Amino acid sequence: MCTIGAVRFSTTEYLLFKNKDFSRSHYDDKILHTQHLWGAAGLETFSEDPGVKDVHSGLSIGANHFGLLVTDAHVQNTGPENSNYDILVEIALNEGRDIPSALTAMERHIAKHPSWWGNLVLADANGLAVAEIRHDQLRTLSGHTPIIRTNHQHLHGPQNGLENNSSNSLGRYIWAGQHLSGATNLEDIKSMLASHDGTTLAGEKSGICNHSYSQTVSSYILHVKAGEITLHSLSGTPCLAKDQYSTTALFQPHEVSP
């Protein structure tokens, strides 16, 4: 259960974000970083027991040297006959130079390998897009307005996956929209990811920084500005560590395509 999205601040500045929510209170991401790609590994297991070995596949968030940014959020596990949507993030980043080529690569893959239900958000130098995946169906929406997704869907009709709302998917979607409507810079996004606009069933503060059944264990912001791609990341709940993001330059500026 995660909160993901993307926003453009100008023709030369855009970013993609993810609050990673998980069923246990601590999780160390497995990171892939090469000359051309950065990503945090995806998971096929969601066990609350830290003694259960995690099974990784694909990427849950990442960037490539072309300036393409992609992340995903869980909607529904539809069984072993379908594949993990994290694989689509990795395919998009390995085969895509931009949003159109990434979407084409994903469509080609799910035609042969149907996927669990998931939401993907993409950003590049020319715009933003969301892709909602269900088995071999991919529905997309592209443009320049800010995009938010949590753990239900909007483009497939009334069966939208809100059975996952034990982690307040609808609430986080609404609150993120309220914050993004006034966001003008990177610090506004960090504040949003640390925000508490609601409460848990026990009456404790929660929100986009999630303290419910599936709690926030890490935050990622991939930020592109004037051709430079920078990762801002932290482990733990952002409300306790908002000023402790680590910053990493991922690729050389001349490698990013306009």
Give the mean pLDDT of 240-253: 86
Per-residue model confidence as pLDDT tens digits over 102-130: 999 999 999 999 999 999 999 999 999 99
- State the pLDDT at residue 209: 92
- Average pLDDT of the chain is 88
Using 50, 70 and 90 to split pLDDT, how confident is the model at 186?
Answer: very high
Please report, for the chain, the start and end positions of each structural domain, with discontinuous segments joined by +: 2-255
Give the mean pLDDT of 247-253: 85
- Provide the CA 256 distance to its chain's centre, in angstroms: 21
Give the mean pLDDT of 80-96: 94
Kindly tell me if the per-residue pLDDT of 253 is higher than 60: no
Do the beta carbons of residue 72 and residue 103 sit within 8 Å? no
Long-range contacts of 46-51 (CB under 8 A, 24+ apart): 46/22, 46/77, 47/23, 48/23, 48/24, 49/24, 50/24, 50/26
State the CATH architecture for 2-255: 4-Layer Sandwich (3.60)
